[in-house]
């Protein structure tokens, strides 16, 4: 999450609580102070914001959340939904694209259609891409799949993804080639900068960082 924030990506706030056992606390971004100013037992009242993940929004069965068994153009369908209904479609589709670059770099093969959502405001007048809330580095673990949750262009195997595949994805999402190039390079540079300033605490963290550097080099512009 810290790396995503450093890349100016709208990720959920999270931190590790200093307790006897490790606890990860995450921000409830789907709750806001009630506009009515009401209270409950003397405390400010909160309102629940309506959220739908993209499996729900697109009518994809939960069992089909991974884009398996062939290409089904999940990301293109997600971008189309944002284009039709988002209150700021241009920014949201760009963020959706940037997040695919980020997930590839950190080795997140679990970025399926239920791990991206849309969020309505309290009045239901606006709809936006929700903050990113499930960012994990799965590729570092050899027993886990190395197939991305959704296709990047024509490829889903993380070890076969190239810069050209992100160009293919940008065309599917109807993002200009120039903007896509800028997004890829900016995310690569920002992640590189974060890695340079980190003091890693475990062998797993070191391995994630090393693998990420290799992927940055692989898709960086030459």
Residues serving a catalytic function are 110
Q: Which residues contact 118 (CB under 8 A, 6 or more apart)?
A: 51, 52, 54, 57, 81, 82, 85, 86, 127, 128, 129, 130
Question: Could you give the count of Cα atoms lying within 13 Å of 100 in the half-sphere of its Cβ?
Answer: 35
The residue whose two tokens read 């550097």 is: 213
Could you please report the per-residue DSSP string of 125-193?
Answer: S-EEEPPB------TTSTTS--EEEEEETTEEEGGG--HHHHHHHHHHTT--HHHHHHHHHHHHHHHHH
| Environment class of 54 (CB within 10 Å of its CB; exposed 0-12, middle 13-18, buried 19+) | buried
Residue 205 Cα distances to 114, 160, 214, angstroms: 26, 23, 14
Residue 119's SS3 state is strand
């Amino acid at each position: 999450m810290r790396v995503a924030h450093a890349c100016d990506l709208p990720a959920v706030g999270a931190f590790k609580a200093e307790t006897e056992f490790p606890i990860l606390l995450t921000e409830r971004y789907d709750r806001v102070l009630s506009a009515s100013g009401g209270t409950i037992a003397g405390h400010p009242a909160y309102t629940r914001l309506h959220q739908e993940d993209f499996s729900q929004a697109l009518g994809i069965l939960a069992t089909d959340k991974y884009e398996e068994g062939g290409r089904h153009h999940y990301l293109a369908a997600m971008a189309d939904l944002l284009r039709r209904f988002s209150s700021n479609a241009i920014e949201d589709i760009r963020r959706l694209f940037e997040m695919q670059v980020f997930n590839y770099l950190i080795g997140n093969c679990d970025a399926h259609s239920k791990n991206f959502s849309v969020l309505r405001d309290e009045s239901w007048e606006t709809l936006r891409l929700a903050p990113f809330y499930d960012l994990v580095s799965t590729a570092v673990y050899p027993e886990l799949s190395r197939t991305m949750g959704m296709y990047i262009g024509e490829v889903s195997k993380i070890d076969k993804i190239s810069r050209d595949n992100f160009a293919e994805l940008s065309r599917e999402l109807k993002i200009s080639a120039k903007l896509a190039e800028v997004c890829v390079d900016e995310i690569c540079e920002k992640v590189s900068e974060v890695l340079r300033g980190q003091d890693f605490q475990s062998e797993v963290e070191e391995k994630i960082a090393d693998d990420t550097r290799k992927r940055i080099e692989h898709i960086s512009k030459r």
